[in-house]
A and B are shown apart, each in its own frame.
Chain A
């Protein structure tokens, strides 16, 4: 992959025949979109690595991965990284089948998968790193309301999505928003129609924090039928944008012009922000079974820590503690180190990339230790 402008030479006769009729001019000059990225950072220890590694998995990480892969190319120009956004389940499956060297997953591996990972990792084990932390925004479409945020407790949100609160000027919402003039528009709750980590984290939050107002179990599939919904984040955002009075939940970076809800944490209301999302991760304990290689976080949805925003999605980077091939080991280590670095986390933090929350320095130290433990088998 290109240090300079990459000329696509007509390697196959087929392409010439095809292009001949349709795109003579194109065939001559298909080129990489960015050509100047790979000049900086000479002399860095990573710059003499080479090889190629493939990842696959969660679509939540797709945009951040795009940024990481593009900027990593300037740090280690001879390492090719690809990431296929095929969904968390698919990513874990491909990883365990040996199809890819690392996976992105919105959920930690379960026990069965951990067993399978031993074989896949040549007798080693799976490493799980919480490298992508992203706030989920509760978005609404109320053009007439000029407040920065509408305040809601988890209980109110649960009642809205469960259909117990049906208009925007319901007393329960009004009580939390003194001084905001709420219209009597009907509320249209919108959910994701496909299985997603966003839905899973959102329902997990409602189940834990709404104090029984959410009668359903946490799940990646929306539990209520007969609702407005959208396929994927784009479908959801389009649906919310399409009707006044609708409310939905989506990766915060996609909220765009829609209003967002400030969540009640303790006695105050916290709007989403990268810092607030990072705060809840720091305030949360490790999950049961977590080790110093599997840094799985059990998010504390009921946190009362000041300035924490508990509606957060953590997407893990899953890798092996052992690889067969030295070049692969080094490439995986270099890439994950870059992603975990301050620089890498900043790339993803940019609002126009993924708007994610950077990991804290303490967490970075642990992550780095786990990455350093990756070795080549034998």
Chain B
């Protein structure tokens, strides 16, 4: 699956084309060109519409007085920022934890497929990991709640017993419906995305560099460290950002696994501390009406802005490092 702008190898195919050629298509040609430009513009319009309609529907909640907001039964705060703050925190915490788990694993898997596994197997192994991306999120939710949580229970008990002096791991309460479980599921969900991109990038590492390193007597690991990883770094970073974006918006798995709470809390094993924006919307939307719908849509807007920021950050990283990644 193409998840990133493809590398612009060889530049635009039509760059050297003479200008005169363009007028030769006549009316049909011009129509076709307008049509394709129109489609491009439609992308712009769609994004503007997404932002516009969300703002439009969120506006009543964003401008409501504290008294009005208090009338929403689950609105535990007098300002909108006060309500959405813990949600943003919970969303970011769960997603970043997921990233922390997934990125090292994904890099390892990608290296295994690109440089360690027998070459004949490599492609099939890639498909195997891609299978994880083919599993719908509601299945992850069912699996996380009914299989993973009981499986993790002994591990979490052990953590809180022996590592409980670290505040992060304090106060585990069964069943394992805490933010760490949710993050692990999110990590599994974003693993294939990061792996796929990282694998592609590692495979593109210049062969000459690799062979030169080996010829100089480097071990396989040294070769990977010197020739592959530096080349792949920006690719891995942008892949991680993509994974982060996916984790930020994941709904069903979090909804079905996490015992939600609205606190700024770093207790990873306690229940009822965190909630993600997406899961909160899915949970409250059915019973919401009037202003509370606006409030939920406003939190959706906040999620949109966050993913936008993450995406821009990723693009910025890619552009900043493009001189390295284009090194072949």
- Residues of A at the B interface (CB closer than 8 Å) are 59, 86-90, 92-93, 188, 193-196, 219-221, 225-231, 235, 238-239, 242-244, 246
Contacts and interface: CB of A to CB of B under 8 A. Distances in A.
Contact of B174 (A86, A231, A242): A242
Interface string B222-266: 000000000000000000000000000000000110011111000
A193 B150 contact: no
Given A193-B283, A228-B259, A230-B259, A238 B145 contact: yes
B67 to A, nearest CB: 17
Interface string B258-286: 01111100000011110000000001101
A93 B271 CA distance: 33
A231 B255 contact: yes
The 5 closest A-B pairs by CB, nearest first: A242-B175, A243-B174, A87-B286, A87-B287, A243-B175
B184 to A, nearest CB: 16
Contact of A195 (B73, B255, B260, B273): B73
A196 B259 CA distance: 16
Nearest to B176: A242
A323 B149 CA distance: 51
B287 A90 contact: yes
Interface string B165-203: 000000001111100000000000000000000000000
A227 B259 contact: yes
A228 B271 contact: yes
Contacts of A238: 145-146
A93 B255 contact: no
B261 A90 contact: no
Contacts of B176: 242
A93 B177 contact: no
Contacts of B149: 242
B174 A235 contact: no
Contacts of B255: 231
Contact of A225 (B73, B174, B263, B286): B263
A221 B174 contact: no
A231 B73 contact: no
Contacts of B124: none
Contact of A229 (B73, B146, B270, B271): B271
Contacts of B270: 226
B70 to A, nearest CB: 13
Contacts of A86: 286
Nearest to B75: A221
A349 B248 CA distance: 44
A225 B283 contact: no
Contacts of B261: 225-227
26 contacts: A59-B286, A89-B286, A90-B286, A90-B287, A93-B289, A188-B174, A193-B260, A194-B283, A194-B286, A194-B287, A195-B284, A220-B287, A221-B74, A225-B261, A225-B262, A225-B263, A226-B270, A226-B272, A227-B261, A227-B272, A228-B173, A228-B177, A228-B271, A242-B176, A243-B173, A246-B175
Interface string B113-134: 0000000000000000000000
Contacts of A90: 286-289
A239 B74 CA distance: 22
Interface residues of B, number: 28
B179 to A, nearest CB: 12
A219 B174 CA distance: 26
Nearest to A229: B259
A87 B288 CA distance: 9
Interface string B137-152: 0000000011001100
B256 A221 contact: no
A231 B253 CA distance: 12
A225 B284 contact: no
Nearest to B288: A89
A220 B73 CA distance: 8
Contact of B259 (A87, A89, A193, A244): A193
Nearest to B271: A228
Given A225-B263, A226-B261, A231 B175 contact: no
Interface string B62-98: 0000000000011000000000000000000000000
A86 B293 CA distance: 14
Given A86-B286, A244-B174, A246-B175, 13 more contacts: A87-B287, A89-B288, A193-B259, A193-B283, A195-B73, A220-B287, A221-B73, A226-B263, A227-B271, A228-B271, A230-B259, A239-B175, A239-B177
A193 B271 CA distance: 12
Contacts of A188: 173-174
A132 to B, nearest CB: 17
Contacts of B288: 89-90
Given A193-B260, A239-B259, A242-B150, A226 B271 contact: yes
Nearest to A221: B74
B205 to A, nearest CB: 39
A195 B263 CA distance: 18
Contacts of B272: 225-229
Nearest to A193: B260
A193 B263 CA distance: 15
Nearest to B260: A193
B285 to A, nearest CB: 9
Contacts of A244: 174
B186 to A, nearest CB: 17
A86 B260 CA distance: 21
Contacts of A228: 173, 175, 177, 259, 271-272
A30 B146 CA distance: 31
Contacts of B150: 242
A351 B160 CA distance: 41
Contacts of A194: 283-284, 286-287
B276 to A, nearest CB: 12
Contacts of B283: 193-194, 231
